[in-house]
């Protein structure tokens, strides 16, 4: 699977600089501890710098100016990113496009870009448009009127409902649902009348959606996920939400209807966010937290309901000691009562 490359070639690919033997040939990546001489490894965390002296790797990716211990080095400003890019280079092979394969199902007036692949069991509705090099895996269902950009991958059994728009270079993991009906009902005395959800979902470019995550279509307009944002598995985005650019929404997070999330926001696992809120840019919310109110930009918060993360750590340190505190208070109460009696008697 691997082709070998010289350090010179790798440095060019990464925009880095070789110290040592530029002609050294590398055919893959490995950890510092276990790499052999045909592998390149990386030093991202300075606390492991001493391991470079002992690695068997043929070369080490490290930040400029790091101690090489006589090893071949490629200097790059972000060794972890460089490692990820070499993983792609050595191990990821985009399969040759297969076109519309036997057992794929196409509706009428479908627009197909060049070099697409529609796998067996992929179902594409009427009036769908699919960009160049996009791949639709088996069992994925694309409803009528959907638009999908270029270089996007839609994995098996994902669903994109009617008229939704998916950008370019998006990845939809298996079983994800884009454009399900928003959860909107009007009480009618006897029960609930389902409010038609006639809006859509728009995923901008470079958005990734985790397995079995759900993004509801808007009631009237657009549920929007802006460019570069990544959703983990089993995430719920309710109708009319707007999620900013380059957010990280970790597994099992739920965001209620009409909430707006800024750019570069991180919501850790199992966070819940109430509806109709605004979360500012660069906010980080700790795992399992509950967000009942809007949050200004730039801060870290935890707890249900949330408070500044440091305050939460301090408060949670007290919780296991609450029974002891209560006893202390009772004891104080008795001592005070005794003092008061003595006072009166005095």
Q: Identify residues 138-157 at the interface with its own copies (CB under 8 A).
A: 138-139, 141, 143, 155-157
Phi and psi, residue 23, nearest 5°: -90, -5
Among 91, 114, 276, 293, binds its own copies (CB under 8 A): 91
Among 47, 65, 108, 343, binds its own copies (CB under 8 A): 343
Q: For residue 341, how many other CB atoms are within 10 A of its CB? A: 10
The interface with its own copies within residues 60-89 (CB under 8 A) comprises: 78, 80-81, 83-85, 87-88
- Token pair listed for 265: 């926001």
Enumerate residues 6+ apart whose C-beta is below 8 A from 17: 11, 64, 74, 75
Closer of 69 and 260 to its own copies (Cβ): 260
Q: For residue 187, how many other CB atoms are within 10 A of its CB? A: 8
Among 234, 243, 265, 267, binds its own copies (CB under 8 A): 234
Closer of 53 and 87 to its own copies (Cβ): 87
The distance of closest approach from Cβ of residue 277 to its own copies in the complex, given in angstroms and rounded to an integer, is 12
Q: For residue 192, how many other CB atoms are within 10 A of its CB? A: 10
Residue 318 region by backbone torsions, left for phi larger than 0, else alpha for psi between -120 and 50, else beta: alpha
The distance of closest approach from Cβ of residue 222 to its own copies in the complex, given in angstroms and rounded to an integer, is 15
Closer of 114 and 330 to its own copies (Cβ): 330
Q: Which of 137, 239, 276, 309 is catalytic?
A: 239
Among 134, 147, 152, 256, binds its own copies (CB under 8 A): 256
DSSP 274: -
Beta strands of 39-196 (E only): which ranges?
A: 39-42, 59-62, 73-75, 99-100, 105-106, 111-112, 117-118, 123-124, 129-130, 135-136, 141-142, 147-148, 153-154, 159-160, 165-166, 171-172, 177-180, 185-187, 192-194
**Could you tell me which stretch among 48-56, 59-67, 110-118, 169-177 binds its own copies (CB under 8 A)?**
169-177
**Could you tell me which stretch among 8-16, 45-53, 68-76, 118-126 binds its own copies (CB under 8 A)?**
118-126
Catalytic-residue membership of 239? yes
Closer of 65 and 320 to its own copies (Cβ): 320
- Token pair listed for 147: 């638009």
Q: Which sequence positions are flagged as catalytic?
A: 239
């Amino acid at each position: 699977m691997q082709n070998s490359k010289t350090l010179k070639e790798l440095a060019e690919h990464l925009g880095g600089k070789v110290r040592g033997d530029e002609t050294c040939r590398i055919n893959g990546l490995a950890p510092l501890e276990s790499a052999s001489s045909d592998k390149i490894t990386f030093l991202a965390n300075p606390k492991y710098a001493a391991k470079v002296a002992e690695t068997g790797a043929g070369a080490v990716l490290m930040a400029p100016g790091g101690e090489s211990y006589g090893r071949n080095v490629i200097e790059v400003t972000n060794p972890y990113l460089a490692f990820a890019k070499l993983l792609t280079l050595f191990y990821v092979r985009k399969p040759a496009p297969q076109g519309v394969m036997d057992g794929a199902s196409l509706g009428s007036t479908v627009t197909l870009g060049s070099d697409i692949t529609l796998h067996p069991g992929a179902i594409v509705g009427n009036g769908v448009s699919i960009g160049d090099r996009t791949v639709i895996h088996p069992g994925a269902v694309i409803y009528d009127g959907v638009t999908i950009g270029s270089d996007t991958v839609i994995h098996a059994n994902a669903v994109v409902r009617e008229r939704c728009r998916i950008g370019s270079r998006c990845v939809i993991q298996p079983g994800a649902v884009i454009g399900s009906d928003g959860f909107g009902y009007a009480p009618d005395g006897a029960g609930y009348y389902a409010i038609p959800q006639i809006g859509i979902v728009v995923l901008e470019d470079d958005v990734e959606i985790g397995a079995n995550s759900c993004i509801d279509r808007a009631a009237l307009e657009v549920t929007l996920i802006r460019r570069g944002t990544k959703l983990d598995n089993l995430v719920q985005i309710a109708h009319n939400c707007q999620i900013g650019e380059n957010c990280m929404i970790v597994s099992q997070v739920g965001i209620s209807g009409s909430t707006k999330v800024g750019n570069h926001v991180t919501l850790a696992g199992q966070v819940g966010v109430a509806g109709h809120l605004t979360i500012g840019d660069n906010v980080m919310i700790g795992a399992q937290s509950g967000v009942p109110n809007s949050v200004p930009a730039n801060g870290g918060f935890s707890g249900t309901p949330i408070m500044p993360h440091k305050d939460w750590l301090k408060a949670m340190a007290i919780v296991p000691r609450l029974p002891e505190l209560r006893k202390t208070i009772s004891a104080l109460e008795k001592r005070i009562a005794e003092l008061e009696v003595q006072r009166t008697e005095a």
